[in-house]
Amino acid sequence: MTLGSLVRALRFDGLWWRKFAYLGSVYGPEWWKRYSPPWIAAIIFLCVGRNRRGALANVRRVLGRRGWFRDHLAALDVFIAFAHCVNETLEYFGPRPQPVRVDEPPEDPIAAALGRGRGAVLVTCHFGNWDIGARTLARFGCPFNLVMAREANETTAAYVQKAREDAGVRVLLSDSSVYGSFNMLRALKRNEIVALQLDRPLGGDGARFADFFGAPAWFQAGPIRLARLTGAPIFPVFSVRVGPRHYRIVLGTEHRVARHATVEEMDRILADIVAEFERLVHRHPEQWFQFAPFWPSPCRSGTGVVAASQTRPKEDIAS
């Protein structure tokens, strides 16, 4: 291991801390699992200024400015909720899992869609506990493919991917090669599930603007294109943390994309999905795990102000 790799492994989002969290989540006493996440989250909140400022900017857009103290408390709540979700995920995927309650919708349109033989595209965001939600949705008897970007800290990449695949979730790296989208298309052609996250666009033509809390923000339009090419329906799916080891699957409106849908029609479908997500974030702002400013800001150039719509999104350090 090089010195640079060692430094990255010791960073707060590196492999060393991930393994330390795993030991506490799996083998720690119940009081540690229940009460340590808020304190650990508070330490990271105080020490990692870039992520703290990102979360603060986002909650101010979602909730409005309510004063310095309340704004910072809301941003801290995001860190605490994230710590609880990470703790319960590591325990759930470990060798000593505790019972987890997952409330599912009374109807199951995803199973009906798979019965039609065209696969299903699930779209979600960095909200709640997607790992536990994905494992719950992997029960349909067909492969479940989770499309993800590479881990921001590469020392954790193999560790995180193995944990998900051991849990029955196949990981497809969206940036693994120029042929990454073909892997998704083939999976849908095989009547499999492909799940993608909308709120971490990688830029390029796949990133589209949608109105979100009163301002335009970048979202990933790749799932809409996949649905148009394959005929697979799109389902917004989110996993909300209700309480300790208790989650609820929220299933949004099913969308179908016509083979010859125009860009404007696909943008409308994306806007409808984002609107559903906005309502959910409004109810549970602490469970939207964005640790970098999400809305693009105008930047100045030598010729004046460059509009936000001309600025492509960049990946932040939170995965």
pLDDT (tens digit per residue) in 254-290: 999 999 999 999 999 999 999 999 999 999 999 999 9
Task: Phi first, then psi: give them for residue 92, nearest 5 degrees.
Answer: -65, -35
Residue 37 located in a structural domain: yes
Strands 304-306 and 299-301: antiparallel
Residue 225 located in a structural domain: yes
Report the largest interatomic distance among the alpha carbons of the chain, rounded to a whole angstrom. Answer: 60
Residue ending a domain, choose from 32, 62, 97: 97
Residue 297 located in a structural domain: no
* Phi and psi based region of residue 119 (left: phi greater than 0; alpha: psi -120 to 50; beta: remaining): left
Same-domain status, 227 and 204: yes
Residues of the chain with pLDDT under 70: 1-17, 138-141, 149-168, 175-180, 201-205, 298-319
Task: Phi first, then psi: give them for residue 269, nearest 5 degrees.
Answer: -65, -45
- For the entire predicted model, the pTM comes to 0.85
Q: DSSP class of residue 316?
A: -
Q: Cα separation of 265 and 252, whole Å? A: 19
Calculate the alpha carbon distances from 33 to 89, 167, 245 in Å. Answer: 12, 21, 11
> Contact, 168 vs 143, CB < 8 A?
no
CA atoms within 13 A on the CB side of 24: 18
Same-domain status, 38 and 152: no
Same-domain status, 231 and 129: yes
Same-domain status, 273 and 187: yes
∠ CA 43-47-52 to the nearest 5 degrees?
Answer: 95
Q: DSSP class of residue 164?
A: H
